[in-house]
Structures are given as C-alpha cells and as structure tokens.
Amino acid sequence: MAKPLIVARDLSIIYNKGKSNEFKALQNVNTDIYEGEYIILFGPSGCGKSTLMYSIQGSLPPGEGTLLIRGDDVYSYPPSERVYFQRYVMGIIFQSFNLIPSLSVLDNVALPMIFCNTDKTTRNRRAQSLLDRFGVGHVSHKIPAMLSGGQQQRVSVARSMVNDPKILLADEPTGNLDSVSTQQVMDKIDEINTFDRRTIIMVSHNAAHLSYAHRVYYLKDGFIVREVVNPQRKQIKPVREGETIVTELEQLARLFPYDSVETLRVKSMVNFLTQDYTFEQLSRIERAIGLFIQGRIDRDNFIKGLVLPAERGGVGVSEQEARAMATTTQKMIDRSTDIKRFRARKENDNIFFSQHKLAERMRDHLVQEFRIKLTKEQDEHLVEMIADRVTGVVTESEMNERLAKGVRAGGLALSEKEADTMTRYFEKIIAQGVDVSYKN
C-alpha cells in the first residue's frame, strides 16, 4: 500500500496562545493526502482551511500534533533545509496573485529560480516555456499591472511550477476572477494534476470546483467535519473495503455543498417520500429541460433524451411519460410568451395588441385547461384577476383567495382545491414568462 505524501495527526494550530484573543484555527485535524491527489479544502471563511494549507506549506508550525510530509517533519528541519523544501517541494498560488509589481512577468516567473542560483539563460528559457504553456507567453515582457486578473493568475501558476514542485498549493486561486478566467485557471490546475501528476491542495469555497477534486475535506470552525470522495474520479487513496463506502450522501454533498450531513440525510428521505425519481434522474431531467426551454434541443430530441436508459446518459423514463412531459412543458412555455408580451406592453402601450386581449387569451387557456364553465360575470372577474396578477397588483395568495370567493365579491366561487391547483399552474407559467433581469 502506497504511503501517504502528507500525514497530519491530531494537528492543532492556535493563534495567540495564552492571550485573551486566543483563537483555535485548527483542532485535531487528521488527514492523509496521497501523491497525485487533487484535494480541495472546503469551508466558509475562518474555518481554518488556509491555516491548514499554510501549515503544509511550511510557514506555520503546528501547535500540537504531528505533520509529516514525505515522512519527515518539515518543522524539525534546519532553516536552510526548510527553504530548500519550500523551493523544490512546494509551489503556491494565491487568491490575490501576489506577483511583484515592479518586475516583468518573465522575471516574476523566474524569481524562484534566482533564489536557487540558476543561471540567467536557463531561467528565462524555462520561465518563457511555462508562460507559453499557460497561454501568457506573449505578455512576458509586460509588468503584472498591465495584465488582466486571469492572465496574472496564470502567470502565478507558471511561477508556482517553475521549480517543478511535487505539491501545488492554491489558496482560493479563482476568488478574484471572472467566470471565464476561473474556468481557464481551473483547467490549467486540473491539467497539472492529471497531466503532470502533481499533488494539488486547493483551498476554495466555490462549490462548482468540487467536481475537480479526488476528495474534498469540509472544514468548519477549525475541525474537519467531513471527507467527501468524488465518485466520478478514480481514487488514488487506497480504499479498504467496508471502511468507507460511497453513498448517496456523497452525491448530495456535491449538489448541496453548504448543507450539513444531517440536512443531506433529510433531503435523501424527503426525496424518497415525495418523488418518483432519484437525485441522479432529477439532475438529468433538469439538464434536458434546461436545454429544451432555451430552445437548444427540439421536442423529439428532448423525448429521446428522457427515454434513453440511465447507463447511456439518459433518464430512463417511459416513452408515454416522456411525451406527457414534453407536451406540458411545450404548452407552458408557449403560454409564458403571453406573460412576456403582457408585461412588455405594460411598458410601451401598443395600439395593435391590447393587454386586455392577452389577458383574455390566458383566460381561455385556463378555462380550457381546467375544463370549467364560467358565466359572463365570472369570465370578467378572471380576466381582471389575471391582469392584476401579471402586472403584480395582487400576490399569489391574494389571487388564490379571490378565486375561491363568491361571484358577488368579485371571485370565481371555485372550491379551495380547484383554486389551489389553478393558482399553482398559473404561477408556474408566470415563473417561466416573467423577465427578472435587472433593468435600469
């Protein structure tokens, strides 16, 4: 069995020990990290994830417990050897890039090699090739301030790799980046893990990154509260049979990274009680409906995707069911366009197409859908209610109430249950149709 690269046993780090502002940043942490693993330390601010990372980096001596890296206690090294360790074993990336503003990009990357007394030609050649690899070779002569955040972070990835370290540490490397740059940087770090086979320890609180990791350690208030294995990646850490099993909880943890184990258990139970579909199926249906709503797949492909068995990437529902889903979805999307137009009219009066007409059309749809017969008076009331609801004059519950009210009181005199169903249905259409984007 392979030996772990990093072993922490009962590791505690206490800031300002013995003073009034004593703070236990890490308590009784036990971790085993294996060579080639991609580990994410996940948790809210102040949970101690960065503390753990910097302790592994060799800058923060453990207060209690042991921390062994490659079987050695780094903190027992004499200073010169610890520097050697930090140079050749550890590479580091920061959230705020931490490039030196007065040096060119090339010199920034070559800087760690300067401390190793590498000669200038080798230094520049290696730095340039790394910059090329990470897609920032063309800006090597500029100073960091002239680069975008994404470029700067890729420069600092290049810098962390310049001495070919065994372990790459990343302290929220995408915390300051936009989504496109985040993707680029995450891909590069993933590449370093899968292609260069480097061990990666990343501190993050972005749940979207968790799927990159082999394992995720969840930290809270200085404790590791959970270790989640990513079932999608082949594990490097040897799993002894029966000791740890991959359960639905792991899957749920990736869907709801901020929830505690207890909440996840509840979720699992509720899902079983209320739904016919598993979480896996649900997330696939979600994906399919998403594409369908955006119009990126047509009805036939949508049905095909739903019918396809789970092993082949589909959802595995019956064709009949799939068709029913497609029809309902289609219908609701179509109706939702009326909501859209209605609300658009609200802003610029259009003489060709009055709001009243739209409201009437929606009324007709509801009448048809629920197969109800209405008197002329009820008819008018419903149109009025629809208009009020869509313009936002009344809330969902007010509309529900009015539906159940007597005709004299301006209602429809529906039964409670009928009113509930109609409200719910109509609300779904509104949800599809209403434009929630921010307007000035």
Q: Which residues bind other proteins (CB under 8 A)?
A: 54, 57, 59-60, 79-80, 83, 86-87, 92, 94, 98-102, 111-112, 115-116, 159-160, 163
Would you call 39 exposed, middle or buried from its count of C-beta atoms within 10 A (0-12, 13-18, 19+)? Answer: buried
Amino acid 149 reads: G
CB of 127 to other proteins, least distance (A): 13
Taking the least distance from each CB to other proteins, the nearer of 199 and 251 is 199
CB of 49 to other proteins, least distance (A): 14
CB of 64 to other proteins, least distance (A): 19
Taking the least distance from each CB to other proteins, the nearer of 18 and 101 is 101
CB of 197 to other proteins, least distance (A): 21
Extract the tokens encoding 313: 């990437």
Element (H, E) at 25: strand 23-33
Helices then strands (H, E): number in the chain? 15, 9
Taking the least distance from each CB to other proteins, the nearer of 101 and 242 is 101
Q: Are 276 and 282 in contact (CB under 8 A)?
A: no
CB of 92 to other proteins, least distance (A): 6
How many CB atoms neighbour CB 3 within 10 A?
11
Residue 134's nearest CA partner among 101, 90, 181 is 181
User: Tokens 């259409």, residue?
Assistant: 429
Taking the least distance from each CB to other proteins, the nearer of 38 and 94 is 94
Taking the least distance from each CB to other proteins, the nearer of 114 and 310 is 114
Extract the tokens encoding 260: 């505690």
Taking the least distance from each CB to other proteins, the nearer of 36 and 112 is 112
CB of 322 to other proteins, least distance (A): 56
Residue 89's nearest CA partner among 103, 104, 105, 72 is 72
Distance between start and end Cα atoms, the chain: 62
Would you call 260 exposed, middle or buried from its count of C-beta atoms within 10 A (0-12, 13-18, 19+)? Answer: middle
Taking the least distance from each CB to other proteins, the nearer of 78 and 406 is 78
CB of 38 to other proteins, least distance (A): 21
How far is residue 74's CA from residue 82's CA, in Å, rounded to a whole number? 6
